[in-house]
Structure 1
Amino acid sequence: MDRVDGDERAYAWAWRGLRAVLAGLAAVGLAVTNLVLLGVSLVALALVPVPFLGMALLPWTMTLVRHRADLERRLAARAGVPVSRPYRPPPARGVPGGWRRFRWIVTDPATWRDLAWLLPGAVVSTALGLISLAVPLYGVLGLTLVPVWIWLGTDWYGYGLVWSVDTVVEGLVCVPQGAAILAGGLWLAPWLRRVDAYFTRLLLAPTKAAELRLRVTELTVTRADTVDAQAAELRRIERDLHDGIQARLVSLGMMIGLADELIDRDPSAAREMLAEARESSGTALVELRHLVRGIHPPVLAERGLDGAVRALALGLPVPITVDVDLPGRLDTPVESAAYFAVAETLTNLVRHSRARTGAASLRHTDGTLTMVVADDGIGGADPGAGSGLRGIERRLAAFDGTMTVSSPVGGPTVVTMELPCVLSSPRTTHSFGTG
């Protein structure tokens, strides 16, 4: 068993190194596009004084540069160095070739940082990419030196000149050296990719001022979404009160009034009216409980997120397996947002997924609550298709939470939601089992 694990680790290590070598080769090719984009950008800048042409050409060119910079950020993230996008949001009514779009591009400091990165980024990527490619290739030459000589004949020196050998015997000595150099090159290549990624972050990551500006913009958007969501929730509560409970209470008052008028003249009819009033009051009480449960479920306050999610799963027509590991309670607003996010996701599962089974998992690690809801349904869930997922995003965004959806056509669907939060108190009871 240990030998199998060792072989798997060696394979994974070699594969990671080979991928880094190929990434270095791709970086050399992408460096050429940097030079092309730099030349096109200089031409576009030179044509800015030309009416209409420069105003249209420069934003188009800078868009291409941004796409190239975004690609480099994604490559850096694959190397383990995440790089955020620093760009300002586009103008609401900007049109291609218009003044608003031109000003948006020109006044964004990230535009000039992208241009400043093109040339040094090409030089660094080319240098590191060639090194990551040359070292393993040199090792491969040493390994294949003897077989090539045997195949072509000992009079053929070929790339043996690279190793400075003249005989097959000397070539045999190169085999272990080539293996060592190849292994060293595969070990070195991922580190070179990380160095390239750190250089990318140095020039393409947002500055402190840009991060603050982006954060303010994000908070402005999330605040507007939160206000809209709260306004919609208040309208729903008002509508439910007006159309349901209020109408029933008005009817209840009228029946009691009629019973009061009939109690002396027709006691039997008055008793029937009072019986109807009693039934109507019971119905109004049930509706009021449902309304309160939709605002803040009592089970959430009594049993916490763990018990509330389990109780929710038990009431669904689709079997849901629940796995919760929360060693304490969350703050009430966060707990409520987490509960309703899971509830809405499970509701979508029941309504749209055609799933036979589902699962909900909640974990709190490193200051983050991670909620995963999965099903074996038909897939195809899209946050932009009005399936309720957009509302979940807005609810989570109010607490700096995020949501990712993996839902290929044919399934399965996996919705992962994360909320940064802390546990406010330890849990005194522990529940087991699944829903």
Structure 2
Amino acid sequence: MDSRDWIRDGLYAVAGAAYAVPLALLNLPLLVLFAVALVLTPVLGLGLVLLPLVTLLIRARADLARRLAARYGVPIARPYRPRPERAVLGGLRRYRWLITDPATWRDVAWLLPGAVGGLILAGLSLGIVAYGVQGILLIPLWVSVGVDGYGYGAIWPIDTVGEGFLSLPQGAVILAVGVAAAPWLRQAEAYTARPFLAPTRAAELRLRVSQLTVTRAGAVDAQAAELRRIERDLHDGAQARLVSLGMTIGLAEEIIEDDPAAARKLLAEARENSTTALHELRHLVRGIHPPVLAERGLEGAVQALAMALPIPTAVTAVVPGRLDTPVESAAYFAVAEALANATRHSGAAHASVEVRHSGGLLMLRVSDDGRGGADPGGGTGLRGIERRLAAFDGTMSLSSPPGGPTVVTMELPCALFSPRISPSSGTA
């Protein structure tokens, strides 16, 4: 790792520890408010209004802890049950939904250990850095005062200006240790929160079922749309050509004895129509499953795709094997759609594609140097990519700030089943 990377990450972690302290302290009043709301539930029904409000605040605090944990490499999924229909704020249905959800009580159980752990780990991170800083700052302090006194440097008492200078290397070392350790301390705090804030096994199964229900519906809709597209292309293209071809040949049969020259002209026209229909059928087949994908695999197909683009596109591919045909097809068309967006909408001069398979995960990254500002809701095909990947438990993330660059990162969990048969990299 570059030295600038660990310094940057460490400073970000130290800054995170600075606001982790007040966040940890916030847990305590939330715990008290929840206890008060619970006690007031039998009293004039005040808890029916107060407890849902407090619970939503606790969930917001827990969600913030989950986001911070994910930032330090500890992803924590939300474990909450779906919201019931017609649940009015303060109503009995909402109260039951919140109070009977085990995740609510796990959030409450986390508040106290989360406060203690956050204060200890964040305080330790800030304390090490502060101790190193004060060891360094003692030098200008002693020089500016110009008199002997008493103070504490890095690890020993300081009585003179000369001893103050000796604290400089110790302070620098302690500061470096504090900056380097800060991300690990923040990660340790995330690990202490995960047993409380992560879904249980039953909740994970419930979330998985909900996700599969959504992705299955998306896959069915995508398949139906694809079938309608194929039917439309066949009806409007090849089928119309073949009908016209049959009519032309029939007309040539009727006039071949009376006007052979006109019949030959009609037959020549029929031959042209048959060639056009064949080209349209081949184009349609490539849209269903490109022959190059079957012949050369994902690497070769992506390289062939890049060579056909109007902008220079660099391809780096490391896939030491073949994928299952449905996954390979989904990955290919996802890359094709992302490249089509870069070509049509971004105004890019260059693009690049990275395809890698490692640890049972296929990573696809398409980037361009265009104007940026891509929006999945803008009708640029990004939602279609998400639906296509979701059918295989894949994900898509987008980075496209105004002014560019745009980077589309797609991940698909999958396994390899045969040796690689195509080159590993190339540039188009």
TM-score, structure 1 length as denominator? 0.86
- C-alpha distance in 2, partners of 1:173/1:256? 102
- 1:302 CA displacement: 1.5
- C-alpha distance in 1, partners of 2:170/2:65? 35
Give the SS at the match of 1:424.
Answer: coil
- C-alpha distance in 2, partners of 1:410/1:346? 18
Moved more, 399-408 or 12-21: 12-21
* Residue from 394, 397, 411 that aligns with 2:390: 397
- C-alpha distance in 1, partners of 2:163/2:202? 59
One-letter amino acid of the structure 2 residue matched with residue 201 of structure 1: R
- C-alpha distance in 1, partners of 2:6/2:337? 42
Give 1:204's aligned residue: 197
Give 1:84's aligned residue: 77
Give 1:233's aligned residue: 226
Q: Residues 142 and 161 of structure 2 are in contact (CA less than 8 Å); yes or no, is this contact kept in structure 1?
A: no
Give 2:160's aligned residue: 168
Give 2:312's aligned residue: 319
- 1:75 CA displacement: 2.2
1:71 matches 2:86: no
1:328 matches 2:321: yes
Give 2:31's aligned residue: 38
In the alignment of these two chains, the number of paired residues is 427
One-letter amino acid of the structure 1 residue matched with residue 60 of structure 2: H
**Map 1:158-307 → 2, pairs under 5 A:** 167-168=159-160, 175=167, 185-186=178-179, 189-307=182-300
One-letter amino acid of the structure 2 residue matched with residue 250 of structure 1: V
One-letter amino acid of the structure 2 residue matched with residue 86 of structure 1: P
Q: Kindly tell me: are residues 289 and 99 of structure 1, through their superposed partners in 2, closer, same or farther at Cα, counting changes over 3 Å?
A: farther
- 1:24 CA displacement: 3.1
TM-score, structure 2 length as denominator? 0.87
**Map 1:370-381 → 2, pairs under 5 A:** 370-381=363-374
Moved more, 373-382 or 31-40: 31-40
One-letter amino acid of the structure 1 residue matched with residue 292 of structure 2: V
Q: Kindly tell me: are residues 125 and 233 of structure 1, through their superposed partners in 2, closer, same or farther at Cα, counting changes over 3 Å?
A: same
Moved more, 47-56 or 251-260: 47-56
Q: Kindly tell me: are residues 425 and 50 of structure 1, through their superposed partners in 2, closer, same or farther at Cα, counting changes over 3 Å?
A: same
Give the SS at the match of 2:76.
Answer: coil
Give the aligned CA root-mean-square deviation in angstroms. 3.3
Q: Kindly tell me: are residues 91 and 257 of structure 1, through their superposed partners in 2, closer, same or farther at Cα, counting changes over 3 Å?
A: farther
1:309 matches 2:281: no
Give 1:127's aligned residue: 120
Q: Percent identity at matched positions?
A: 63
Structure 2's unaligned 5+ residue stretches are none
Give 1:368's aligned residue: 361
* Residue from 381, 390, 408 that aligns with 1:415: 408
Structure 1's unaligned 5+ residue stretches are none
Q: Deviations over 1:95-122 (max 9, x none)?
A: 5455654444333321221111112211
One-letter amino acid of the structure 2 residue matched with residue 69 of structure 1: A
- C-alpha distance in 1, partners of 2:184/2:208? 32
1:386 matches 2:379: yes
- C-alpha distance in 1, partners of 2:147/2:101? 64
Q: Residues 259 and 273 of structure 1 are in contact (CA less than 8 Å); yes or no, is this contact kept in structure 2?
A: yes
Give 1:117's aligned residue: 110
One-letter amino acid of the structure 1 residue matched with residue 379 of structure 2: G
